[in-house]
A and B are shown apart, each in its own frame.
Chain A
Amino acid sequence: MEKVKEVPHIIELKDVCKEFDGVSVIENINLYVRKGEFVTFLGPSGCGKTTTLRMIAGFDLPTSGQILLNGKDISDLPPNKRPVNTVFQKYALFPHLNIFENVAFGLKLKRIEKKYVDKKGRERVKYEKLPKAVIDEKVKKALEVVDLAGFEKRSVSTLSGGQQQRIAIARAIVNEPEILLLDEPLGALDLKMRKEMQLELKAMHKRLGITFIYVTHDQEEALTMSDTIVVMADGAIQQIGTPEMIYNEPKNTFVADFIGESNIFSGVMTKDYSVRFCGKSFPCLDTGFEKDEPVDIVVRPEDVKITAPEGGMLKGKVTSVIFKGIHYQILVQCGRYEIEIQSTSTPKVGEQVGLSVAPDGIHVMKKKFRVNKFSGVITKRNTVEFGDGEFDCDVCQLYPGSHLDEEGYLITAKGEKLDLTDVEVNVEVGLHDITMSDNLDDGGAQGHIISLIYKSEYYRYIVRTENEEDYVLACEDLWNENDLVSLIIPKDKIRLTLKNPEENKK
């Protein structure tokens, strides 16, 4: 990101990878945190954000890569040797100690290096404990910072969740760490308390001036508190940026979906300043895409305006209106697309409305295209219906070791008999696994070629069916735009996964 390099980096992760029992949880993370920053690692559970934090704290060591603190490699240092303190998710206050002893825990372990000259005139170093008066004073100050002065003698179990949280913070900051790590510290608090603590933490950050690294799965929390947000998913960083950047310019559909509410469409960039989705062309502000390049489009619900039925770019029927406090959440069905809108106006359910989006409300993102993905349904004949067509497939791949019996029921490896009719599946088909044919009865679906791009070794075609399902495929032969073709996909190239694995167990 375009960060100015004036503030020194307090911590830097270089090509950090982490595996647990051979399973990779962090894949090649590179990031730096500037001194005094409030950085948030944001992502769904299991995305590796806590693991990253634990590697900075020293509880987990990276499998490969380096962690630099002020430019020095600390990758292999144990946690007690790092000038970093952690506020744990479940506080981890010592139950056998009172509040004072908890907060003073780190101070009592601290040794100050003291140089002196012994009788024989040699220079010696001795390590001294902090004097009791200093400890008392520091603990008192720390408790004042978290607004719990006078709680010294209380035992941990007499405190409420919010109070325990503050003690956990006091216990960490009393050691004057260079970095304070916070692992979902507000997760156990109720909403109101959480909002209060968010603001308090932010104020505390300003007052103390130390670097905060905060881990959360709550996007609102991240937007409220952070200077910089690191969005993570599947053990990799998706985007790094200020809250505004992340919200307004999400880099991919994951970020757009995770941060805030959003309508995500897939479409094509027909030319500069023009993008086509939902069956209509929209003016936009984006340029620099290839002609007819498939893209993802994000439209925030608050950027969709409701107009008279004839005045909008899209026309649809209101299906739901929900009061959300400061605005209404309105769902409008436009053909096959459901669009979410946040608005203060209240159309009636069933009313026909027009929708329009200003060019700056349309955010176009490059599509990371690897495979065709569809949602499908298994039909009676053990075929799968997706993308406006029906294809033969191998349903046995859904359950390893299974086979079909004569009647067409699936017998699992354990001998259970399953009827897969109407089971929803995710379908994936590779670019090179689809072939086109002139004979419209050959394939499972038909459509017109709407785009072809020469990619030096092959042409990349986009075939759009009648109901606007797009197939992307690669072919060495040259076809013409607007040709009507049928699409053939070999049985073994259709990869199926269950949409709701739990539900289908029954």
Chain B
Amino acid sequence: MTTTKPRLRFSRKLLAIPYALFLLVFVVAPLFIIIYYAFTNGDTGKLSFENFQNFFSGTAGQSFFESSRFKTIVQSFGISIASTLLCLLIAYPVAYIIAHSGLKNQMGLLLLFIVPMWVNFVLRINALKELLSWIGIYNKSDEWNIFNTILGMVYDFLPFMILPIYTTISKIDKSYLEAARDLGAGGVSAFIKVTLPLSKAGIMSGISMVFLPSMTNYVVSNYMTFNHTKIIGAFIDECFRNDHWNLGSVTALLLLTLMFVITWLTGGFNTESDTQSRGTSLW
């Protein structure tokens, strides 16, 4: 192309500026605010670790392990683990079947799972709530409440599990499977020895996409249980609402650290050197 327009000296780096600004204002700054509140005394504003002590100390004569706070943490973990496992159990076969369907329009099939996401999240949760109360299990007992929360989480986060797994499975070179069959593996053992390990990256990013949000997404738990089942997210919300900024910040920071550790343990920070052997993931 030969145009006579004056060429703008526009380096590609400049394009990063808006993103960097956004990051600074909405991610880095709040993070520092949280850190500030976590490590200062609420009244004096001086540096202290008492917020951590507060978090781990019990209330009203109870020890930490007897407190409702501890119960909330355990409950959050339980709900998250159950939701993630359920998502995985549903998503893996779905992703596998779509990726191996041999259909030209695999994206169309995937859209069936993604399109519900386009409906407003609160609306969807409300609809599910109505459905549950119509069946008669809405806010029936504590056990049903936990079940309903898990149901809500799975309903909400399933696409985030399907997409990365689908991407990794569909990118696995067919010749690996053929090689396995050639070397004497039957269909099942070829799946266990080749497809499954090669889709690990997708499973891992799916897990981090589901596990961490379902620890904090209290909208689901509040709506599904009429505020009866409390998870960590709800606790943080409560703290800030009741002006316990320091305690809220500590909880948020602890959760952040936990997420960091989990991501690190599941290999979420591994980059190029390893991606070849683990397949590529969507996220």
Question: Residues on A close to B: CB < 8 A?
Answer: 57-59, 78-80, 84-86, 88-90, 92-96, 105-106, 109-110, 155-157, 171-172, 175
A residues less than 8 Å from B181 (CB atoms): 58-59, 78-80
B61 close to chain A: CB less than 8 A: no
Q: Chain B nearest CB: distance from A91 CB in Å?
A: 8
Closest A residue to B183 by beta carbon equals A106
B4 close to chain A: CB less than 8 A: no
Q: Which of A80, A90, A93, A110 has the most CB of B within 10 A?
A: A80
Closest A residue to B186 by beta carbon equals A80
Given A92, A110, A156, which contacts B178 in the complex, CB threshold below 8 Å?
A: A92
B3 close to chain A: CB less than 8 A: no
Contacting pair A109 B277 (CB below 8 A) = no
With A80-B186, A105-B183 as given contacts, are A96 and B276 in contact (CB-CB < 8 Å)?
no
Given A92, A94, A110, A156, which contacts B184 in the complex, CB threshold below 8 Å?
A: A110
A/B interface sample: 10 pairs, CB < 8 A: A59-B182, A78-B181, A85-B182, A92-B173, A94-B179, A105-B185, A109-B183, A155-B277, A172-B183, A175-B183
B198 close to chain A: CB less than 8 A: yes
Closest B residue to A93 by beta carbon equals B179
With A95-B276, A109-B189 as given contacts, are A86 and B179 in contact (CB-CB < 8 Å)?
yes
B176 close to chain A: CB less than 8 A: yes
With A96-B197, A96-B198, A156-B277 as given contacts, are A80 and B184 in contact (CB-CB < 8 Å)?
yes
Given A79, A80, A95, A106, which contacts B277 in the complex, CB threshold below 8 Å?
A: A95
Q: In the assembly, what is the distance between CA of A225 and CA of B276, in Å?
A: 34
Give the secondary structure class of B's interface: helix
B residues less than 8 Å from A85 (CB atoms): 182-183
Closest B residue to A85 by beta carbon equals B182
Q: CB within 8 Å of A: which of B164-206?
A: 173, 175-176, 178-186, 189-190, 193-194, 197-198, 200
* Extra A-B contacts (14), CB below 8 Å, given A58-B182, A95-B198, A156-B277: A59-B181, A78-B181, A79-B182, A80-B183, A86-B178, A86-B182, A92-B179, A94-B194, A94-B198, A96-B198, A105-B193, A109-B189, A110-B184, A172-B183
B residues less than 8 Å from A155 (CB atoms): 277
B residues less than 8 Å from A93 (CB atoms): 179
B residues less than 8 Å from A89 (CB atoms): 175
Q: Chain A nearest CB: distance from B104 CB in Å?
A: 12
Closest B residue to A86 by beta carbon equals B182
Q: In the assembly, what is the distance between CA of A232 and CA of B54, in Å?
A: 81
Contacting pair B185 A157 (CB below 8 A) = no
B124 close to chain A: CB less than 8 A: no
- Binary contact track B253-283/A, C-beta < 8 Å → 1, others 0: 0000000000000000000000011100000
Given B178, B183, B278, which contacts A96 in the complex, CB threshold below 8 Å?
A: B278
Q: In the assembly, what is the distance between CA of A84 and CA of B185, in Å?
A: 13
Contacting pair A88 B175 (CB below 8 A) = yes
Q: In the assembly, what is the distance between CA of A86 and CA of B190, in Å?
A: 16
Given A58, A78, A80, A94, which contacts B176 in the complex, CB threshold below 8 Å?
A: A94
Closest B residue to A59 by beta carbon equals B178
Q: In the assembly, what is the distance between CA of A105 and CA of B173, in Å?
A: 18
Contacting pair B175 A90 (CB below 8 A) = yes
Contacting pair B176 A92 (CB below 8 A) = yes
Closest B residue to A156 by beta carbon equals B277
Q: In the assembly, what is the distance between CA of A172 and CA of B183, in Å?
A: 7
Q: Chain A nearest CB: distance from B203 CB in Å?
A: 13
Q: In the assembly, what is the distance between CA of A105 and CA of B176, in Å?
A: 12
Contacting pair B184 A109 (CB below 8 A) = yes
Contacting pair B197 A80 (CB below 8 A) = no
List the 6 closest A-B pairs by CB distance, nearest first.
A106-B183, A92-B175, A92-B179, A95-B277, A79-B181, A109-B184
Closest A residue to B189 by beta carbon equals A109
Q: Chain A nearest CB: distance from B25 CB in Å?
A: 41
Contacting pair B183 A171 (CB below 8 A) = yes
Q: In the assembly, what is the distance between CA of A94 and CA of B186, in Å?
A: 16
Contacting pair A105 B277 (CB below 8 A) = no
Q: In the assembly, what is the distance between CA of A79 and CA of B194, in Å?
A: 16
Q: Chain A nearest CB: distance from B127 CB in Å?
A: 42
Given B189, B193, B194, B276, which contacts A157 in the complex, CB threshold below 8 Å?
A: B276
Closest A residue to B178 by beta carbon equals A59
A residues less than 8 Å from B173 (CB atoms): 90, 92
Contacting pair A80 B178 (CB below 8 A) = no
Q: Which of A78, A88, A94, A156 has the most CB of B within 10 A?
A: A94
Q: Chain B nearest CB: distance from A106 CB in Å?
A: 4
B residues less than 8 Å from A156 (CB atoms): 277
A residues less than 8 Å from B197 (CB atoms): 96
Q: Chain A nearest CB: distance from B260 CB in Å?
A: 26
Q: Chain A nearest CB: distance from B271 CB in Å?
A: 14
Closest A residue to B180 by beta carbon equals A105
Closest B residue to A78 by beta carbon equals B181
Closest B residue to A88 by beta carbon equals B175
Closest B residue to A109 by beta carbon equals B184
Q: In the assembly, what is the distance between CA of A57 and CA of B177, in Å?
A: 13
